[in-house]
Amino acid sequence: MALDQTLANPTTAPWWTSAVVYQVYPRSFADSDGDGVGDLAGLTSRLDHLERLGVDVIWLSPVYASPHADNGYDISDYQAIDPVFGTLEDFDELLAQVHARGMKLVMDLVVNHTSDEHPWFVESRSSRDNPKRDWYWWRPPREGFEAGQPGAEPTNWGSFFSGPTWTLDEATGEYYLHLFDSKQPDLNWENPEVRQAVYAMMRWWLDRGVDGFRMDVINLISKDPDLPDGATTGVGGLGDVFPHVATRPGVHDFLREMNREVFEGRVGEFLTVGEMPGVTWEQARLFTDPARGELDMVFQFEHVWLDQGPGGKFDPKPLDLRDLKASLGRWQTALADVGWNSLYWNNHDQPRVVSRFGDDGEHWRESATALATVLHLHRGTPFVYQGEELGMTNAPFAGVHEMRDVESLNHYRHSVAAGGDPESVLRGLRAMGRDNARTPVQWDATPNAGFTTGEPWLAVNPNHTWLNAQVQYDDPRSVFNHYRSLIRLRHELPVVALGDFRMLLADDPHVYAYERTLDDTRLLVVANLSGTPQTVDLDREWSAADVVLANTEEALISPGGVDLRPWEALVLTRSSGA
């Protein structure tokens, strides 16, 4: 499969091919005023950390006005900053400081749904004949049922946050659709007035100086207008909503229109990333084909669903490394000649990768750096989630009373009410719950990890006394400095950003290895992702290659092979003619 020559040429490739993005979840990043919640001024005060790390783009999770039913992903005003985070003036100062450091800032765009407190929805629910009624999905009770009766919901769809996707508005006697929480009603993108209002809001932010958008669950905005029942899942008798709302053909039309209305003709360098649960590589090729004018890249979920058991997300099973290699390798091949990959282990919705796929005990540092090495040197744009560059781990939640995430709380309530064993349910939440990603960033060993002088909204992980930024800055072998090295390689070596990809040892259950090639430069990545030593046979030509990065002090390379310690990762480079 031939590479797109535009993407294989360092002089013509888009800027984001050699960039690294850093996600900030502001509630948990840095608190400037002692109220226990991170804010924009706190983020501004810590920008030196990101500059030191070397990232190019900051993706800022929502800071808009919100009732915070889903920690800001329920927006009540798209053009206002929530007071908990600061003011528009604080935002402008942050943006100016980001740009002064040569970085870009991308906003989180959450337009599949709003808050039920957004003025659009307040109008929409005020009466059946309100002009904004059709801005959301409203339906009468199921035929033969009275409003409020069990089973009267217009469809049998189950919400991603547990329970039905429909909630009755008693004042008008109709139900509104919400794929997530009942306080997150879905916008009706079939209505052109909705789309134009969204585009106007996006232009407003771009005019203010932001550099693009990460688009939340953007492949869910086009629903099947017939609203058919879903196949029953056995969970409370509810049906599967996913086939009727995910990646339907209309999404392409909406995104092309968005690109024309918002970005076409605008001067500047921008980034658009679409979060797309369930997207396939075939679909991703369409979404990210530059000729189609939709998105620069998508977030796919295939690799972070590999450790889900029969019971779904909160029924985890051990990861089979061969499955991970097959998945990531498939996406590398599929998007080689058209489109582009995003690369991530962590975000605000995923548990910490060192606890999930690594070893957060004996081999904490080695596994954190090995996993980083494997991911970052693929072809695509890497995304680092706050604290990942420190090797932050999952939190030791004693019980559900210490959790704050609406998804986890709803799952616990519904599962226990349905007869689930509370300890088994809690075990799944401890492993996979979103609160793991949301504990405050660990800046130092002081009380509350330097995050706040007050009481944090979510407890700080007690391991901050030894796992924190301050102790890692000047340690050349730290997780932080390993991430710096990986980012520097992407900036300095065109083969990292643009080289083609060849998976090696696809059937090895312990070793992840691949080769990158651009012109006469070859790069070999080999990592032992297990707790036992492994020996890997190598072509003799690699025995004299240069070691450009390692997470151990001395690599054990001999003619024809390399002995890898537990969680050891090596990066070698050579010329094709050498």
Instruction: Encode 468-480 in three state secondary structure.
Output: CHHHHCCCCCCHH
Candidates 284, 204, 216, 288; CA nearest to 60 is 216
Per the model's pLDDT, the better-predicted residue between 341 and 556 turns out to be 341
Which 8-state DSSP code applies to residue 173? T
Task: Check residue 540 and give its pLDDT.
Answer: 81
Which one has a higher pLDDT value, 277 or 235? Answer: 277
pLDDT in tens, 243-273: 999 999 999 999 999 999 999 999 999 999 9
Q: How far apart are CA 264 and CA 261, in angstroms?
A: 7
Exposed / middle / buried, residue 558 (Cβ in 10 Å: 0-12, 13-18, 19+): exposed
Mean pLDDT is lowest, of 31-35, 82-86, 185-189, 430-434, for 430-434
Residue that is written with structure tokens 């800055």 in the block: 473
Query: Distance between CA 554 and CA 535 in Å, rounded?
Result: 15
For the stretch 383-400, pLDDT in tens is: 999 999 999 999 999 999
| Residue 285, C-beta contacts closer than 8 angstroms, at least 6 positions apart | 334, 335, 338, 339
pLDDT band (50, 70, 90) for residue 235: low
Please check the confidence at residue 558 and state whether its pLDDT lies above 90: no
pLDDT given for residue 561 in this prediction: 87
pLDDT digits over 293-337, tens only?
999 999 999 999 999 999 889 999 999 999 999 999 999 999 999
22-110: which CATH architecture?
2-Layer Sandwich (3.30)
Domain extents in the chain: 22-110, 404-434, 499-575
Q: Looking at the predicted structure, is the pLDDT value of residue 91 above 70? A: yes
Instruction: Dump strand ranges (E) for 40-169.
Output: 57-60, 64-65, 77-81, 104-109, 138-139, 166-169
Helix axes 250-258, 192-208, angle to 10 degrees: 40
Percentage of residues of the chain with pLDDT beyond 90: 88
Local structure of residue 159 (DSSP, 8 states): P
Q: 544 pLDDT band (50/70/90 cuts)?
A: confident
Average pLDDT, stretch 4-13?
69
Query: With the C-alpha atoms ordered 218, 22, 459, 398, is the resulting torsion angle positive or negative?
Result: positive
Question: Could you give the residue ranges of the DSSP H alpha helices within 85-233?
Answer: 88-100, 119-124, 192-208
Please check the confidence at residue 8 and state whether its pLDDT lies above 80. no
Whose tokens are 């009481």? That residue is 455
Strands (E), 363-460: 381-385
- Which is nearest to 405 in space by CA: 377, 379, 427, 437? 437
CATH superfamily of 499-575: Golgi alpha-mannosidase II (2.60.40.1180)
Check residue 382 and give its pLDDT. 98
6 band by pLDDT with thresholds 50, 70 and 90: low
pLDDT at 576 over 80: no
| pLDDT score recorded for residue 578 | 53
The residue with greater pLDDT, 541 or 231, is 231
- Please, what is the Cα angle at 410 between 407 and 416, to 5 degrees? 130
* All residues at 6 or more sequence positions from 417 whose CB lies less than 8 Å from its CB, including other chains: none
- Which neighbouring-strand residues pair with 528? 511
> What distances in angstroms separate CA 462 from CA 32, 51, 439, 448, one per listed residue?
21, 27, 10, 9
Whole-number average pLDDT of the chain: 95
Structure confidence by residue, pLDDT tens digits, 48-77: 999 999 999 999 999 999 999 988 999 999
Per-residue pLDDT tens over the stretch 128-175: 999 999 999 999 999 999 999 999 999 999 999 889 999 999 999 999
Return the pLDDT at 12. 85
pLDDT at 564: 96
Token representation of residue 495: 């083969």
Rounded-to-integer distance, Cα 328 and Cα 330, Å: 5
Tell me, what's the pLDDT at 407? 87
Q: Measured between alpha carbons, how far is 296 from 273 in angstroms, rounded to an integer? A: 6
Active site residues: 216, 275
Distance (Å, rounded) from C-alpha 317 to C-alpha 8?
38
Query: What is the DSSP pairing of strand 138-139 with strand 174-177?
Result: antiparallel
pLDDT 10s digits, 469-492 = 999 999 999 999 999 999 999 999
- Claim: this prediction has a pTM higher than 0.85: yes
Tell whether the model's pLDDT for residue 234 goes beyond 80. no
Contact residues for 427 (Cβ-Cβ < 8 A; gap 6+): none
Residues 328 and 304: beta-carbon distance below 8 Å:
no
**What is residue 162's predicted lDDT score, i.e. its pLDDT?**
85
81-106 as b/e: b if 16+ CB within 10 A: bbebbbeeebbeebbebbeeeebbbb
22-110 and 499-575, same CATH topology: no
Q: What confidence score (pLDDT) does residue 9 get?
A: 73
Angle between helices 406-417 and 422-432 (to 10 degrees): 160
Distance in angstroms (rounded) separating the CA atoms of residues 408 and 161: 8
Contact predicate 262/203, CB 8 Å: yes
pLDDT attached to residue 5: 52
Of 40, 54, 57, the closest CA to residue 383 belongs to 57
